[in-house]
Amino acid sequence: MGSFLDKPKTEKLNEKGQDNDLSFGVGAMQGWRIEMEDAHSSLTKLPLSGFENWSFFAVFDGHAGGTVSKIASQELIYSILNADPDLFNELAIFYSNKATSTQQDLTSESSITCSTRSASSLASNDGNNTNVTSLLSSSTETPNQTSTVDTHPTEKPKSDTNKNSSNETVSESSASILKTSEIADEILDISSNKPVSTKPLVNLTDDLENRLKKAIRQGFLNLDDKLRHMPEFEKGEDKSGSTAVACLISPTHVYLINCGDSRALVSSDNQIVLCTYDHKPIIPAERERIHNAGGSVMIQRVNGSLAVSRALGDFDYKCVENRGPCEQLVSPEPEIYSRERSYEKDQFVVLACDGIWDVMSNEDLKDFINSRLKVTNDLVKISNEVLDMCLNKGSRDNMSIIIVTFPGAPKVLQNEIDKDKICNEKIENRIKELIENSNTRIEFSQILQSISQEKWDEFPAGGGFYAKQYLIEEIYNRLAPRHNEDDSINSSNCYFNSPL
Ligand code: MN
């Protein structure tokens, strides 16, 4: 599917931020594809009064154009928040009445981070959703952020807390919601930057949890329906579609939400405790829906063409008459997985599109991030290492990754930094040795081949040789420079010769 460039575009789009005791880093790279069709959302605070301590992250992998992925990255969270205004009022009250030990600095003034949403996207939402749109707190918007973003939470004195309650932009119904911030008595010790209590987390009642899942599902269906009625899709001029994988983090729970073949997982105590499952046409339940809608699955694709069986957009696959939106060849219905948070054990969430997962197993990516978090707390750096590694492992697709760390994430350890340094030095010495021992000029591919066949215990867990391929390239180019620019070597046009 699709065409490829002569050489990959390796420039990275990065973003990072921290709030609500979470940190996140984003890395995105076009790679070999002619277009970049991925998009993402990263909101450390939900733009709804009473939900400042909830976060939302999502990766959207577009196909046949980037229109749907872009719009979804701007609007999906709003579509979810608008799906059941009563529920979100009740949830705000529920959480404000049962403040947990986990809540952090509710008075923080750091702005939300929303990478792709334009300032006008809220205004373009349906005017009839006044209940919730009136609750959306405009003060937290950061319009037109498209690249590197760094939020710096600013602590305010507690006396400022109540001022929020009289914020004039907040509607009457949300006034009670904002009282969340007044119940600081059992909440936190800001100075320690840690939850002070380890008492059990509140249980979300089954009713609220089920309704939240329904609202998430309805948010997807509503957005898809809205897209369908936009002129470019109605006229059939735009045939794009997009997968969506998202993570909603409440003070007590983490929700993974999936529609399509992007993927997310949660690592806790070095184990994958929650992950999404891809919607591929060959999965029996997906195949059955496709057959029932009069379609077929050939070469593992819907009607021999589309490689994913659930997506937003793709309206050519959603026009079977007398069938509901979730009974079409391609369905916009997400699957939702949830888990109660463990403040001691939960380490991180990773969301990524199939450009990453095509060449990394869940375990390997989990292990790699775990091992790198012990060497650096720079989530952008780790994200970029994953992108480069996946390119070297042969991914030809657009790639996007979001890493979100919890308070229980691995901490940087000096001995792990030392071990990494020793590994890098050993690589340099080995390359020197290979160059010196060769009678003629040794090619980069020969260096790669030699090192890849040697047994090294020092390479990062989950990444192995590929995790260091760019370093090997850099050292080689430094030690054996070419005179002619055109001869310069880079891993990207070399990995096809790679022996692995
Ligand atoms: Mn993809």
User: What CATH architecture applies to the domain 4-405?
Assistant: 4-Layer Sandwich (3.60)
Q: Which two tokens stand for residue 50?
A: 């009473």
Find the 37 Cα to ligand 1 centroid distance in Å: 8
Residues lining ion ligand 1 (Cβ < 5 A) are 61, 353-355, 397
Q: How far apart are CA 423 and CA 441, in angstroms?
A: 25
Q: Which two tokens stand for residue 288?
A: 């059955």
Q: How far apart are CA 201 and CA 184, in angstroms?
A: 16
**Cβ neighbours of residue 435 under 8 Å, at least 6 residues apart?**
442, 447, 479, 480
Find the 306 Cα to ligand 1 centroid distance in Å: 12
CA dihedral 165, 168, 172, 177 (to 10 degrees): -30
Find the 396 Cα to ligand 1 centroid distance in Å: 9
Find the 244 Cα to ligand 1 centroid distance in Å: 11
User: What CATH architecture applies to the domain 414-497?
Assistant: Orthogonal Bundle (1.10)
Q: Which two tokens stand for residue 219?
A: 């948010």
Find the 66 Cα to ligand 1 centroid distance in Å: 11
Q: Locate the domains of the chain by residue range.
A: 4-405, 414-497
Q: What is the pLDDT along the chain (500 residues), one digit of tens a residue?
A: 568 999 999 999 999 999 999 999 999 999 999 999 999 999 999 999 999 999 999 999 999 999 999 999 999 999 999 999 999 999 999 998 876 444 443 333 333 333 333 333 333 333 333 334 334 433 333 333 334 433 333 333 333 333 333 333 333 333 222 323 333 333 333 333 444 444 444 567 888 999 999 999 999 999 999 999 999 999 999 999 999 999 999 999 999 999 999 999 999 999 999 999 999 999 999 999 999 999 999 999 999 999 999 999 999 999 999 999 999 999 999 999 999 999 999 999 999 999 999 999 999 999 999 999 999 999 999 999 999 999 999 999 999 999 999 999 999 999 999 999 999 999 999 999 999 998 888 999 999 999 999 989 999 999 999 999 999 999 999 998 775 555 555 544 444 433 33
Helix%, strand%, coil% for the chain, nearest 5: 40, 20, 40
For 91, 148, 208, 210, the CA distances from 205, given in Å and listed in that order, are 10, 39, 5, 9
b (16+ CB within 10 A) / e for 219-235: bbbbbbebbbeeeebee
Find the 237 Cα to ligand 1 centroid distance in Å: 22
pTM: 0.80
Find the 261 Cα to ligand 1 centroid distance in Å: 8
Q: At what angle do helices 206-228 and 85-97 cross, to 10 degrees?
A: 150
Find the 398 Cα to ligand 1 centroid distance in Å: 6
Find the 473 Cα to ligand 1 centroid distance in Å: 26
- Sequence letter at residue 58: A
What local confidence, expressed as pLDDT, does residue 326 receive? 98
Find the 305 Cα to ligand 1 centroid distance in Å: 14
- Sequence letter at residue 175: A
Q: CB–CB of 461/420 below 8 Å?
A: no
Max Cα–Cα distance, the chain, nearest Å: 81
